[in-house]
Amino acid sequence: MPQATALPHWAALQSHHDTVGKSFVLKEEFKKDPKRFEKFSYTFNNTADNSEILFDFSKNFLTDETLKILVEIAKEAGLEQLRDAMFKGEKINFTEDRAVLHVALRNITSEPIYVDGKDVMPGVNKELKHMEEFSEAIRSGEWKGYTGKPLTTIINIGIGGSDLGPVMVTEALKYYGDRKQTLHFVSNIDGTHMAEALRDSDPETTLFLVASKTFTTAETTTNAHSAKDWFLKKTDGKGDIAKHFVALSTNEAEVKKFGIDPKNMFGFESWVGGRYSVWSAIGLSVAIHIGFKRFHEFLSGAHAMDMHFRNTPLEKNIPVIAGLLSVYYSDMFGAQTHLVSPFDQYLHRFPAYLQQLSMESNGKSVSRDNQMVRYTTGPVLFGEPATNAQHSFYQLLHQGTKLIPTDFILAAESHNPIDNNKHQKMLASNFFAQAEALMVGKGEEQLKAEGTPEALMKHKTFLGNRPTTSILAQKITPGTLGALIVYYEHLTFTEGAVWNINSFDQWGVELGKSLAKKILAELDEPGNPQGHDSSTGGLIAAFKAKAKLA
Ligand code: F6P
């Protein structure tokens, strides 16, 4: 595949941008075409729970022609072939020689998927069964701790994909969660994270889930060892590791070495990338919290979006359109960021989750054929739930100098319709108002009519014409959440396919890790280390002088 800029329709997109895109005035487009909303909004029918999710792309810089050119670019970039190769289990993560098969984890039909000639589905289903049995045993109290008590405190120890997915999903689906359970997610190597989780935990009733694909991640293994030491110390050595520690991993040898019996290990395969692993055994905390039936609904919603992505023509394919818009904004308009703001408190960790998904996948600058790319790739994804975010950084969206393509997400039905839905109506009114305000802005005429003093005129002007995508779901159910996550997965996939980068490796995290290992050893040596630049060396020396290292 060539560089994106060498695709036959790239020049057409460039000239379309120069002639149409640059001077595009969103609000005028709505005046010209009263059916714009109908034309550019798409309904996703979620077979998981018979609900719908409405994706409104009409407040984007989009015309029939834009879409046509973008779809041509996707075809020329081989998006369909790459997608089909992923679903077929081909090793599209070529820098690690791996298939990319998180889609198999939610393949609820069990249609065979082959890797190296072997159907992976029996293995996937076996692990799901194990997760079902275990999660139900914990929830019912049938699984007991070493003194015979049910385990009601769950501490997941993991980082990156082995943390962000479980945290985000358990928070998002908290409404369905077992309120007798106390959940902690310990990820940071900062001892404070573990100390705070252990502070009020009772070893007799605590279950540790050590979640690590590789089981070699420094933070996780160190945290897990500290947890084990705490457990053994608190139980005077009588605590039974087998009853209180399980591992979620691909690395049986390391799990055994740590002291966890492989029968208490929930496995998955190397073709599950960390940032796509919440659908695997890494999602065990989710199954324990909301129950396996609901975990299965979560997988079903994901599968429904997979099928949409796999089978829908590109011009109607919801994540494909979103991914192509992102390419258009990044490479033609110079947009550097992508904001996701859920109008939903349960989704408060969703942007953090999406950060890893998007930025670890598409933060790349070398093409799949080994060239430095000649264009901008993955945007900086950020976000916070609204309406809180409105009172912090939305100022910059409305009046700053940057173009920030924005997604707003709302569920029509609240799980907590308190005060006769008063809160929900206020929340929804802000969801509509923000997208409208970002588009229409506020000009001189209106300001004058409001009697704005001349000196404040420019300060109170809103230029508008800021693009937004509004996503309106019915309710944040497990099935809806599954579909929403997968929408972003395939959006990211589409971007990566067009940019011709490998969205599935993450070599960029290695350098910092290896330097940290070297410096860690230096911290234990007497004197100050040599060979660093003067800033790094000076900082290490200052730290050594100040820290009370035992
Ligand atoms: O350092 C990045 C990373 O490899 C992520 O891709 C991954 O999700 C995380 O570390 C944790 O890895 P593991 O599950 O192997 O501990």
Render 326-351 in DSSP notation, one character per residue. Answer: HHHHHHHS---EEEEEES-GGGTTHH
Which helix (H) or strand (E) segment holds residue 115: the answer is strand 114-115
What's the pLDDT tens digit per position in 62-119? 999 999 999 999 999 999 999 999 999 999 999 999 999 999 999 999 999 999 999 9
Q: Per the residue annotation, which of 31, 32, 391, 548 is the catalytic one? A: 391
Active site annotation includes 436: no
Cβ–ligand 1 distance for 270 under 6 Å, the answer no
The tokens describing 85, both together, are 């190769």
Is the pTM value of this prediction over 0.85? Answer: yes
- The atom number, within ligand 1, closest to the CA of 164 reads 8
| Cα separations in angstroms, 200 against 155, 159, 227, 374, 441 | 12, 22, 13, 53, 51
What is the predicted pLDDT for the residue at 150? 98
Closest Cα to residue 358, out of 217, 478, 506? 506
- The atom number, within ligand 1, closest to the CA of 220 reads 16
Active site annotation includes 59: no
Distance CA 118, CA 241 (A): 35
Q: How far is CA 476 from the centre of its chain?
A: 16
Cβ–ligand 1 distance for 201 under 6 Å, the answer no
Cβ–ligand 1 distance for 163 under 6 Å, the answer no
What is the predicted pLDDT for the residue at 524? 92
Cβ–ligand 1 distance for 160 under 6 Å, the answer yes
Active site annotation includes 16: no
What is the predicted pLDDT for the residue at 2? 84
Q: Whose CA is nearest to atom 10 of ligand 1?
A: 160
Ranges of residues in the chain with a pLDDT under 70 are: 550
How much is the CA Rg of the chain, to the nearest whole Å? 25
Cβ–ligand 1 distance for 59 under 6 Å, the answer no
Q: Whose CA is nearest to atom 4 of ligand 1?
A: 274
Distance CA 157, CA 247 (A): 10
The reply to whether omega before 387 is within 30° of 0 (cis) is yes
| Cα separations in angstroms, 195 against 199, 202, 244, 516 | 6, 13, 18, 22
What is the predicted pLDDT for the residue at 422? 98
CA 470 to ligand 1 centroid distance, Å: 31
CA 116 to ligand 1 centroid distance, Å: 25
Cβ–ligand 1 distance for 187 under 6 Å, the answer no
- The atom number, within ligand 1, closest to the CA of 214 reads 15
Cβ–ligand 1 distance for 214 under 6 Å, the answer yes
CA 496 to ligand 1 centroid distance, Å: 20
Assess contact for 430 and 390: CB atoms under 8 A.
yes
The tokens describing 242, both together, are 């087998």
Coil/strand/helix, residue 419: helix
What is the predicted pLDDT for the residue at 508? 97
CA 250 to ligand 1 centroid distance, Å: 12
Q: Whose CA is nearest to atom 1 of ligand 1?
A: 509
* Domains and their CATH numbers in the chain: 4-92+312-499 (3.40.50.10490), 104-292 (3.40.50.10490), 513-547 (1.10.1390)
Q: Whose CA is nearest to atom 6 of ligand 1?
A: 274
Indicate the pairing of strand 468-473 with strand 51-56: antiparallel
The tokens describing 501, both together, are 């980068």
- The atom number, within ligand 1, closest to the CA of 509 reads 1
Helix and strand numbers (H, E) in the chain are: 23, 13
CA 99 to ligand 1 centroid distance, Å: 17
What is the predicted pLDDT for the residue at 550? 66
Cβ partners under 8 Å of residue 40, min gap 6: 56, 57, 58, 60, 62
Mutate to test the pocket of ligand 1, among 98, 506, 511 (most ligand atoms within 8 A of CB): 506
CA 198 to ligand 1 centroid distance, Å: 23
What's the pLDDT tens digit per position in 507-524? 999 999 999 999 999 999
CA atoms within 13 A on the CB side of 268: 32
What is the predicted pLDDT for the residue at 470? 98
CA 16 to ligand 1 centroid distance, Å: 41
Distance CA 280, CA 268 (A): 7
Distance CA 108, CA 56 (A): 28
